[in-house]
Every structure is written in structure tokens, then in C-alpha cells.
């Protein structure tokens, strides 16, 4: 009896000891999210890399950039950018830092995106996507374990500068020249994503290109007049975007642990620009001009010391802060869509679903073409029945 009781209490103590022997780990497992975020691409996702890379003063390092946060830090917005919000939603406790800046904390990911980045060519004082991925590989061994990389989200927005440059240099390009260029750009994108996958990444978020012809700086440079967008650039963006989903479907078929999703940024922007004519409100009063800059669409020179830029009074009523980048309010909206929207906006999964999806498991859904993916900038009245209107 005595023996039994003491055995029971010994077992009890052992049990209690096993349950609570390492309370910090238990708490740690419960409270700390395991997710991390790596970003690649151009100025839209640049967390301050261009500012680090060049010795010249950059406009985005000066007021009124960052004004809503009283901190011009090399990001293209009046405050935070989309990835700051996405990181917050992923419960990452620190800001995703620019990878090129010395002595930053890359324990939860980093931004490799640099303003002026392209897929093709050799951008001045910037890095191509390929060079960004090589930089990631150089930093990898010293900073991140393989399991960590597999669990991390890799977000990419790239290509706009390739098409802006192409259109500037080839204003008369015909359909077959355009198609040939799109093919070379998207082939390069595919080989770069493959390189990143071969570097250990398995969770990819690719954004389609915005309707480039509707950017205030493009409307201004190409003098499209009042309501019009510059259609040759929108067409290039559409041709590019059409290739993304099928390309990623194929990669997921070939590689069973390749997971991806596509954010329909093109239509997210276009719906906001067309909101009046399709009878919706996204709470932006101005969508065709910038908040900060000079010119017919206030689209040039924001932050440049030699330009006397106009600055709008209320940033939150504008979709665009400068000629091609969105206001903090818009970027926060995009982050909510990325994180939680339905497949009409981001498919086959949103970020919340993608980061939760077990590492190594084949995707159970594919990307599907949608008929409304090609909302026409010039023919918006008929699109309100697309069942697509709420984001
Ligand atoms: C980096 O950030 C993490 C939080 O993700 C923190 O735990 C760690 O102490 C930081 N490292 C340094 C060197 O500050
Ligand atoms: C821009 O276009 C020109 C002419 O086609 C080309 O030589 C250059 O490499 C391009 N620049 C970039 C950064 O792609
Ligand atoms: C912007 O759109 C408004 C209508 O929403 C129009 O009145 C205005 O002229 C446009 N501005 C420019 C510069 O295109």
C-alpha cells in the first residue's frame, strides 16, 4: 500500500514535471507565429534598398514620403507599404527590413526588392529579379535554415519597368513584337521563380501587374487626357498577366511541393479607378491623379528637392500617392485583400491559407482563368454583373 502510494505520487510528480518542465517552450509555441516574409521586385515592395544602394539622394528618402508616419525611410508611400501590413497580419513582430542595409534584423525575413528593378536588361543602380535572388542565396547560409525557408512566404511583384521601358523605346511595336517581348519577360520570370524554388522556397505569392496605362505618371506622360488610360500599356500588362496563372499551375504539377497563389492586382486597381462607372465605392475621391507631384496629373517629381510639388491635403482620399505608387490607405486595403480575400481576388488561396498550408503537400486547387479577369478599361458599364464587385 505504502509502496503503491509512493509509486503513484512519484508518477504524479513525473507527469507534472513532464508537462511543465519547459514552460517557456510551451508558451513560445503558442504565442510566436512561425511565419516569415521575403519580398522581391521593384519600388512597390522596396523597403529601403534603393536608398542603401545608391549614393545619390533619393526622392523617397524625403518628405512628403512617409509623412503619415513622420518617417521618410525609402519606401514609396506616405506611410507604410503593403508588406508592412502583411507582415503585421502574419504576426511578425518586427518590420521586414531592406536586405541590402547593413546590420538589419533578418530573423523573420527581408525585402530584396529595389526600385527600378526589371526582369530583363541591366537596370541602373538597381538589381534584376535574378540578381535579387542571387543576393538571397549569398545571405542564406548565414541567416536562415532550410525548414525556415520552406515555411516562409515569398512575395514577388516585378515586370512593370520592363514594359514601361519597352513602350518608351518601341512606341510603334505591333502585336507580334509585343507578344514576343511578353514571352521573353515571362520566360525570364519563370526561370527566376525556378531559381528561387531551387534555393529552397516553396510558398510563392505572385502579383499580376497593375493596369500600367492607368498610372497617373503614364496618363501624364502619354497625354491621354481626362478619363482615359494609355491602352497599349494596359494591353501589355494583360498579356503578361494571362501567362502567370498557367505558368504557376505547370510548376506546381511538375514539383509536388511547389505552392503558390496569384493576387489579381490588375483588377483590384482597375475596379477602384472605375468605381464610379460600375456603381461601387471604395472610398477614394481621386483615382486618376496623384496626391503628390506636378503636371497635368500631379504625377511627377514628388520628393525631389528641385521640384515644387503639389501635395494633396488628405492622402486617404487618393488611390495614388505619387505618379505610380499607392497611398498608405490603399496599401493597407491591398494587404487585407492579400491576407483574407476570396478567390475572385486572390487564387487559389489567400495568404492566410497559403501560410497555413502544410509544407511539402501538393496543392489541391489550381489557378483558374476568370472571364472577368479582363475587365475593359473602356467598357466598364457592362461589368457590374460579373459577381466580382466587392473587392
Ligand atoms: C531580431 O528580432 C527577433 C524578433 O523576431 C528578436 O527575437 C531578436 O532578438 C532580434 N535580434 C536582434 C539581434 O536584435
Ligand atoms: C530599356 O530598353 C533599352 C532599349 O531596348 C535596353 O537597351 C535597356 O537594356 C532597357 N533597360 C532595362 C533596364 O531593361
Ligand atoms: C479625373 O477624373 C475626374 C472625374 O472622376 C475628371 O473630372 C477629371 O478631369 C480627371 N482628371 C484628369 C487629370 O484626367
Sorting pLDDT into bands at 50, 70 and 90, what band is 3? very low
Distance CA 150, CA 197 (A): 9
How much is the pLDDT for 70? 77
pLDDT in tens, 327-349: 999 999 999 999 999 999 999 99
How much is the pLDDT for 18? 42
User: Would you say how long the chain is, in residues?
Assistant: 391
How much is the pLDDT for 55? 87
| For range 137-147, the mean pLDDT | 97
How much is the pLDDT for 373? 44
Q: Quote the cell numbers at residue 318.
A: 487618393
Mutational pocket test of ligand 2: of 116, 165, 173, the residue with most ligand atoms within 8 Å of the beta carbon: 165
Q: Is the pLDDT of residue 267 over 90?
A: yes
Query: For residue 42, which of 108, 101, 125, 104 has the smallest C-alpha distance?
Result: 125
Query: Average pLDDT over the chain, rounded to whole?
Result: 89
Residue 68: which residues within 8 A CB-CB, separation 6 or more?
78, 79, 315, 328
Distance CA 72, CA 60 (A): 7
| For range 321-327, the mean pLDDT | 98
Sorting pLDDT into bands at 50, 70 and 90, what band is 69? confident
For ligand 2, atom 12: residue with the closest CA: 121
> Is residue 171 in some structural domain?
yes
| For range 15-41, the mean pLDDT | 59
| For range 7-21, the mean pLDDT | 44
Residue 99: which residues within 8 A CB-CB, separation 6 or more?
49, 106, 110, 111, 112, 135, 136, 139
Q: Which residue has the higher pLDDT, 334 or 383?
A: 334
How much is the pLDDT for 378? 41
Residue 276: which residues within 8 A CB-CB, separation 6 or more?
none
CATH number of the domain to which 100 belongs = 3.40.50.1110
> Is residue 307 in some structural domain?
no
> Is residue 224 in some structural domain?
yes
How much is the pLDDT for 6? 52
Q: Is the pLDDT of residue 121 over 60?
A: yes
Distance CA 379, CA 391 (A): 19
| For range 184-191, the mean pLDDT | 98
Query: Are 120 and 42 spatial neighbours (Cβ–Cβ below 8 Å)?
Result: no
> Is residue 315 in some structural domain?
no
How much is the pLDDT for 157? 98
Q: Is the pLDDT of residue 380 over 90?
A: no
Residue 30 vs residues 24, 26, 34, 111: alpha-carbon distances, Å:
10, 6, 10, 27
Sign for the pseudo-dihedral over CA of 141, 142, 143, 148: positive
> Is residue 132 in some structural domain?
yes
Sorting pLDDT into bands at 50, 70 and 90, what band is 383? very low
In ligand 3, which atom is closest to the CA atom of 228? 14
Sorting pLDDT into bands at 50, 70 and 90, what band is 388? very low
Mutational pocket test of ligand 2: of 131, 169, 170, the residue with most ligand atoms within 8 Å of the beta carbon: 169
pLDDT in tens, 250-260: 999 999 999 99
For ligand 2, atom 4: residue with the closest CA: 169
Sorting pLDDT into bands at 50, 70 and 90, what band is 16? very low
Sorting pLDDT into bands at 50, 70 and 90, what band is 11? very low
How much is the pLDDT for 32? 57
Q: Is the pLDDT of residue 24 over 50?
A: no
> Is residue 186 in some structural domain?
yes
Question: pTM of the prediction?
Answer: 0.88
> Is residue 37 in some structural domain?
yes
Q: Which residues are catalytic?
A: 43, 322, 325
Query: Are 367 and 246 spatial neighbours (Cβ–Cβ below 8 Å)?
Result: yes
Question: What is the percentage of the chain residues whose pLDDT exceeds 70?
Answer: 86
| For range 163-168, the mean pLDDT | 98
Strand order in the sheet with 346-347: 109-111, 37-41, 153-157, 203-207, 259-263, 346-347
Q: How many domains does the chain have?
A: 1
Distance CA 212, CA 224 (A): 13
Sign for the pseudo-dihedral over CA of 197, 199, 204, 208: negative
| DSSP output for 294-354 | BTTTT-B-TT-TTS--EE-S-GGGEEESSSS-B-HHHHHHHHHHHHH--TTTEES--HHHH
Q: Is the pLDDT of residue 43 over 70?
A: yes
> Is residue 126 in some structural domain?
yes
State in Å: Cα 161 to ligand 2 middle. Answer: 10
Range in 68-77, 127-136, 172-181, 227-236 with the lowest mean pLDDT: 68-77
The answer, yes or no, to whether any atom of ligand 3 lies below 6 A from the CB of 296, is yes
The answer, yes or no, to whether any atom of ligand 3 lies below 6 A from the CB of 37, is no
| For range 239-257, the mean pLDDT | 98
How much is the pLDDT for 227? 83
Sorting pLDDT into bands at 50, 70 and 90, what band is 304? very high
| For range 82-102, the mean pLDDT | 97
Question: What is the percentage of the chain residues whose pLDDT exceeds 90?
Answer: 81
Query: For residue 380, which of 182, 228, 239 has the smallest C-alpha distance?
Result: 228
Q: Which domain holds residue 94?
A: 28-266+325-361
In ligand 2, which atom is closest to the CA atom of 165? 1
Residue 168: which residues within 8 A CB-CB, separation 6 or more?
none
Buried b / exposed e along 300-317 (16+ C-beta atoms within 10 A): bbbbeeeeebebbeebbe
Counts for the chain of helices (H) and strands (E), in that order? 13, 10
How much is the pLDDT for 314? 95
Amino acid at each position: 500500500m505504502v509502496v503503491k502510494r509512493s509509486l503513484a505520487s512519484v508518477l504524479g510528480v513525473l507527469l507534472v514535471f513532464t508537462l511543465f518542465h519547459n514552460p517557456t517552450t510551451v508558451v513560445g509555441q503558442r504565442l510566436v507565429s512561425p511565419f516569415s516574409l521575403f519580398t522581391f521586385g521593384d519600388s512597390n515592395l522596396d523597403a529601403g534598398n534603393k536608398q542603401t544602394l545608391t549614393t545619390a539622394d533619393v526622392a523617397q528618402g524625403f518628405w512628403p514620403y512617409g509623412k503619415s508616419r513622420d518617417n521618410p525611410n525609402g519606401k514609396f508611400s506616405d506611410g507604410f507599404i503593403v508588406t508592412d501590413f502583411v507582415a503585421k497580419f502574419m504576426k511578425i513582430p518586427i518590420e521586414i527590413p531592406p536586405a541590402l542595409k547593413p546590420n538589419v534584423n533578418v530573423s523573420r525575413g527581408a525585402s530584396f526588392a529595389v526600385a527600378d528593378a526589371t526582369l530583363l536588361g541591366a537596370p541602373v543602380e538597381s538589381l534584376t529579379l535574378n540578381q535579387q535572388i542571387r543576393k538571397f542565396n549569398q545571405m542564406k547560409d548565414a541567416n536562415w535554415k532550410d525548414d525556415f525557408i520552406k515555411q516562409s512566404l515569398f512575395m514577388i511583384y516585378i515586370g512593370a519597368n520592363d514594359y514601361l521601358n519597352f513602350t518608351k523605346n518601341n512606341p510603334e511595336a505591333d502585336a507580334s513584337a509585343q507578344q514576343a517581348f511578353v514571352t521573353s519577360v515571362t520566360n525570364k520570370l519563370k526561370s527566376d521563380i525556378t531559381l528561387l524554388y531551387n534555393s529552397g522556397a516553396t510558398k510563392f505569392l505572385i502579383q499580376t501587374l497593375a493596369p500600367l496605362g492607368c498610372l497617373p505618371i503614364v496618363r501624364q506622360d502619354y497625354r491621354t487626357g481626362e478619363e482615359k488610360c494609355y491602352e497599349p500599356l494596359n494591353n501589355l500588362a494583360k498579356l503578361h498577366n494571362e501567362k502567370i496563372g498557367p505558368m504557376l499551375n505547370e510548376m506546381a504539377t511538375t514539383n509536388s511541393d511547389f505552392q503558390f497563389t496569384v493576387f489579381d492586382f490588375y483588377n483590384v486597381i482597375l475596379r477602384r479607378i472605375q468605381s464610379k462607372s460600375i456603381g461601387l465605392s471604395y472610398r477614394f475621391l481621386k483615382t486618376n491623379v496623384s496626391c503628390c507631384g506636378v503636371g497635368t496629373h500631379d504625377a511627377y517629381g514628388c520628393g525631389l528637392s528641385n521640384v515644387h510639388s503639389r501635395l494633396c491635403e488628405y492622402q486617404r482620399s487618393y488611390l495614388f500617392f505619387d505618379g505610380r505608387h499607392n497611398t498608405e490607405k490603399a496599401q493597407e486595403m491591398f494587404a487585407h485583400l492579400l491576407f483574407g480575400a476570396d478567390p475572385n481576388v486572390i487564387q487559389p488561396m489567400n495568404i492566410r491559407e497559403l501560410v497555413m498550408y502544410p509544407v511539402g503537400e501538393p496543392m489541391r486547387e489550381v489557378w483558374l482563368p476568370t472571364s472577368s479577369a479582363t475587365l475593359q478599361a473602356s467598357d466598364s458599364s457592362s461589368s457590374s454583373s460579373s459577381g466580382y464587385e466587392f473587392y
